[in-house]
Amino acid sequence: MTITYSLREDDILTWNERVDRTRPQSASKWWWLVAAGALSAGLGAWQSPAFFFWLAVGALVLALQPEKKIPEEVLGVRSVTLEVDGIRVHSPRHRRLIFWAACQPFEEDEHNLYLPFDPQGVLIIPRRAFPTPEACAAFRQELIRNSVWGIRQAVG
């Protein structure tokens, strides 16, 4: 089964939002500023005006960091084919075969199907890639039937 679609920036942003909601709070970019402030305060540096100056500079630098821009090479037209060995992805710049053993159970929301794979990749397939909801359901069933984790579910 093969589908062809164009990946847009908003498709990737929905995945990033989904991942950010599940990421532990310790992964925040502010952790080092809080740690440095606590350490400095513990050492008595909080009495120095320089402490407050550098704490404000650190907060300003973090606040002004630009959002990560999505590279152009990951956007655009691609085709995804479910094969015996895995998922084959063709785009103008990349050709890849993601073996079933590397695939993790897929996730979905009202806009996209997300196919995470090891080590930290994800294949995003927008629902608009399918002409009908039935075609999307058929793709999901084929995905489950071919995948290693689908086999595990059937056996287990």
Q: What are the extents of the domains in the chain?
A: 72-103, 104-155
Percent of the chain with pLDDT over 90: 13
Q: What is the pLDDT of residue 151?
A: 46
Beta-sheet strand order (sheet of 76-82): 2-7, 76-82, 86-90, 95-99
What's the CA angle centered on 139, arms 138 and 143, to 5 degrees?
120
Which residues have CB under 8 Å from 41's CB, separation 6+? 51
Residues 71-130: tens digit of each pLDDT:
566 678 889 999 888 899 998 888 989 998 888 888 888 888 888 888 878 888 999 999
Q: At residue 155, does pLDDT exceed 50?
A: no
